[in-house]
Amino acid sequence: MKVRDRMTEDVVTVQADWPIKKAWQIMREQKLRHLPVLKDNELVGIITDRDLRLYATASSVLLSEKKYHDFLMETVPISQAMTKYPKTVTPETDLRDAAKMILELKVGSLPVVQGDRLVGIIAETDLVQTLIDILPPDC
Residue 98 exposed, middle or buried by CB count within 10 Å (0-12, 13-18, 19+): buried
Does residue 139 lie within any of the structural domains?
A: no
Does residue 54 lie within any of the structural domains?
A: yes
pLDDT, tens digit (0-9, with 9 covering 90-100), for 45-75: 999 999 888 766 555 545 555 666 677 788 8
Full domain range(s) for residue 14: 3-134
Kindly write down the DSSP assignment for every residue of 32-86, as one continuous string. Answer: -SEEEEEETTEEEEEEEHHHHHHHHHHHHHH--SHHHHHHHHHHSBGGGTSEES-
- The whole-number average pLDDT for the span 93-103 is 98
Write the single-letter amino acid at 36.
P
- The whole-number average pLDDT for the span 93-109 is 97
Model confidence at 109: pLDDT above 60: yes
Does residue 22 lie within any of the structural domains?
A: yes
Does residue 30 lie within any of the structural domains?
A: yes
User: What is the reported pLDDT for 68?
Assistant: 66
pLDDT, tens digit (0-9, with 9 covering 90-100), for 9-51: 999 999 999 999 999 999 999 999 999 999 999 999 999 999 8
Does residue 102 lie within any of the structural domains?
A: yes
User: What is the reported pLDDT for 75?
Assistant: 86
The total of structural domains in the chain comes to 1
User: What is the reported pLDDT for 65?
Assistant: 59
φ, ψ at 80 (rounded to 5°): -80, -20
- The whole-number average pLDDT for the span 118-125 is 97
CATH of the domain at 70: 3.10.580.10
| 34 DSSP β-pair partners | 48
State the pTM of this model.
0.88
Answer yes or no: are the C-beta atoms of 85 and 45 closer than 8 Å.
yes
